[in-house]
Structure 1
Amino acid sequence: MQAITMNYPFTFPAPGLPQSGQVLAIGDFDGLHLGHREVVRRAVETARKLHLPAAIMTFHPHPREVLGQDKYVRHITPLKEKLALFEQAGIDVAYVVGFDLPFSQISPSQFVDEVLVPLRVNTVVVGFDYRFGHKGAGDADSLCELAAGRFAVEVIRPYRMDDEKVSSTLIRGLLECGDVGKVSQLLGRYYRMSGTVVHGAARGRQIGFPTANIELDELYVVPANGVYAVRLEVGGGHYEGVMNIGTKPTFDGNPAHRSLEAHLFDFHSSIYGERVAVELIAYIRPEQKFASIDELVAQIGRDVVTAKELSGYRTADAGTGLANG
């Protein structure tokens, strides 16, 4: 997949642009949930039928972040991961449009005339709730009107699950509640965060449960504090485990600092400095403060049993493994 960065005002023709038309899906696509994936699927399907490139346009940073909604500083799917998912979905060209205040002020007709028409789009695919132009003045209906025979427009109806519209806003709310099980259903995959294993206080090793302390490398929407069954990817392998997200209240941790500490099953070598990805399988319990270390150790033991059941862990499947402290 080819990724092309564009900043307003745009210059055309730009190097690398398809010369014979393209099918373009447009949206922010934070999370690339099942609703988003239907938009992308339709764009790829239409492109293959027309023998044209399947393209996608997304925006960075998140438009709502630029317009002052601070919670959108954190992402369900940061740009790098989003691009990887686009490629997996069959997209040939991804346009990453730099979203800033000048760009936010162009009119819907300017967006069509100054962006879509010069891109030689044959067909544009958008969700039913797509908005564009200054203050979101444009919608799917006005896009059809502005296309004026110059290109086709396909509008994808809402994707619903359990009588709820699947949306990034819904997923953000579920993550804030720790409901990663429902999030997995809406994403069609486990929620995933990436980072680097860093040195911690080594308390986990001291109490018999060595942990990988993960420092995230992107501004993710971090789920609610608590204990989770997880799967961690490192060095090409995947290992089940249990992870605590929170402030370590039993050790009088800093309430302002949230940490991610994963204990992996049958994992016996140091991976300090390694980049890892953690998938959250299920929520187990809230984080809590224990009266003693012995109580904490006993509870972690129970959490390990629960996490193994939830993740389908089998000792025979684990091999020799690796571990960290």
Structure 2
Amino acid sequence: MQTVHLQFPLQNHEVIAPGQIVAIGEFDGAHLGHQEVIKRAVQRSSELRLPSAIMTFHPHPRQVLGLDKYAQVLTPLAAKQEMLERLGVDTMYIVNFNESFMRVTPEQFVEQMLIPLQVNTVFVGFDFKFGHKGAGTPDTLCELAKGRFVVEIVRPFHLNSHKVSSTLIRERLQSGDVAGAEALLGRPYSIRGSVVHGEARGRTIGFPTANIGVAEPFVIPANGVYAVEATVRGQKYDGVMNIGLKPTFGTDLLQPTLEAHLFDFSETIYGEPIEVALLAYIRPERKFASIQELIAQISKDADQAKSVLAERKTMQSS
């Protein structure tokens, strides 16, 4: 998949693939609903033997609008690119979303973005909005196409009577329901970062941890303890991770830390990239009366995580 960065309006832009089939959306999370839109576009491109493309926006439009709850995203750009590539898309267009683009009308978007790209068919979700203040809807897009390209509107994707959406996934994560988020995403929710130096307390109490520095604006799930699978140096390791403020140690942290204890792992990995998939919620974070009580609970957490992860693997293999 090739990646092309676009600025509005397109000027002297070389058309990468005339007649392409384009799915348009923010696609934060690349969840099951997004996948349905993208898969249908890829399928149509295969049927018509035309190239497929994704058009997305960066940074997240709601970030530019100043909506605080969107300061963090489910899939920062690099993660989103990888996920979309796996769906078989030929080209990913990343439109620079800034305050100027925010004022573009639906008509301008069509005439100065889609028409110059020579699109054949555009796929959008049922709730797609575009143009200044979200004035454009899928019906608007159909009207503005004027027969120059086809518009396909994909109906909402439901799972267990719930409409799959990025908002619902955020709610699941913010309540610690990583299993619920996984069902909506179609994969475990993962956070990427690098291993940074911490206070080395874990090592002194028998549970060394990888302290994860998150450079990208991932949504961080609710404080608590989770069973996880971490990928380090291309290898996967089961583990248990705490997200929180470490109240037992009387810290005055303003932001939660992420500390993962990996089972059967003793390598030094400071500065190394790490990806952690959150597979099950074990318990909320709480303050313990003593370090000894904390150590006993961590041991229980580790045993529970091992049990949960073993059961998960058994179910996946059956």
Give the TM-score band, short-chain normalised.
Answer: over 0.9
Corresponding residue of 2:81: 83
TM-score (norm 2): 0.96
Counterpart Cα distance in 1 of 2:78 and 2:47 = 28
Question: Letter of the aligned partner of 1:181 in structure 2?
Answer: A
Q: 1:120 aligns with which of 112, 118, 129?
A: 118
Aligned to 1:37: 35
Q: What SS does the corresponding residue of 2:54 show, helix, strand or coil?
A: strand
Q: Equivalent residue of 1:208, what SS?
A: coil
Residue aligning to 1:7: 7
In the other structure, the counterpart of 1:319 is none
Identity value in percent? 56
Given residue 167 of structure 1, which amino acid in structure 2 is its aligned partner?
S
Please give the secondary structure, in 2, of the residue aligned with 1:57. strand
The answer as to 2:154 corresponding to 1:141 is no
Partners of 1:57 and 1:120 in 2: CA distance? 13
Q: CA deviation at 1:102?
A: 1.2
Question: What's the counterpart of residue 239 of structure 1?
Answer: 237
Q: In structure 2, what is the Cα distance between the partners aligned to 1:269 and 1:107?
A: 55
Partner of 2:272: 274
Counterpart code for 2:11: T
Letter of the 1:115 counterpart: M
**Which consecutive unaligned segments of at least 5 residues does structure 1 have?**
315-325
The residue that corresponds to 1:195 in the other structure is 193
One-letter identity of the residue aligned with 1:10: L
TM-superposed deviation, 1:132:
0.6
- The answer to whether structure 1 residue 310 and structure 2 residue 308 are counterparts is yes
Structure 2: where are the runs of 5+ without partners? 313-318
Structure 1 distance, partners of 2:266, 2:64, is 45
Identify which of 207, 214, 218 aligns with 1:209. Answer: 207
For the aligned residue pairs, the C-alpha RMSD in angstroms reads: 1.2
Moved more, 64-73 or 40-49: 64-73
Q: 2:91 aligns with which of 93, 97, 122?
A: 93
Q: How many residues align?
A: 312
Report the Cα offset of residue 71 of structure 1.
1.7
Counterpart for residue 165 of structure 2: 167
Match of 2:44 in 1: 46
What secondary structure does 1:312 align onto?
helix
Letter in 2 for 1:30: D
**Alignment equivalent of 1:224, drawn from 214, 222, 225:** 222
Cross-structure match for 1:321: none
Does the 8 A contact of 1:44 with 1:90 survive in 2?
A: yes
Q: Which amino acid aligns with 2:16?
A: L
One-letter code aligned to 2:52 = A
Structure-2 separation of matches of 1:156 and 1:236: 37
Moved over 3 A (4+): none
SS in 1 for 2:37: helix
Rounded to whole Å, the distance in 2 between the matches of 1:212 and 1:144 is 51
Matches within 5 A, 1:55-94: 55-94=53-92
The residue number in structure 2 matching 1:261 is: 259
Write the distance in 1 (CA, Å) between the matches of 2:83 and 2:159: 22
Does the CA contact (< 8 Å) of 2:8 and 2:113 recur in 1? no
Deviation (angstroms), 1:313: 7.5
Once the two structures are TM-superposed, the CA of residue 12 in structure 1 deviates from its matched residue by 3.2
- Asked whether the 8 Å contact 1:54–1:91 carries over to 2, the reply is yes
Please give the per-residue CA displacement for 1:160-199, whole angstroms capped at 9, x wherever unaligned: 1121111011111111111111000000000011111011
Equivalent-residue separation in structure 2 for 1:35 and 1:205 (angstroms)? 43
DSSP-derived class of the 1:233 partner: strand
Distance in structure 1 (CA, Å) of the matches to 2:143 and 2:307: 54
For residues 124 and 257 of structure 1, what CA distance do their matches in structure 2 show? 41
> How far apart, in 2, do the equivalents of 1:215 and 1:275 lie?
9
Contact 2:9 2:113 in 1 (8 A): no
Match of 2:315? none
Secondary structure of residue in 2 paired with 1:256? coil
Q: TM (normalized to structure 1)?
A: 0.94
Greater mean deviation of Cα atoms: 83-92 or 250-259: 250-259
Rounded Cα–Cα distance in structure 1 between residues aligned with 2:9 and 2:257: 41
The match for 1:106 is 104
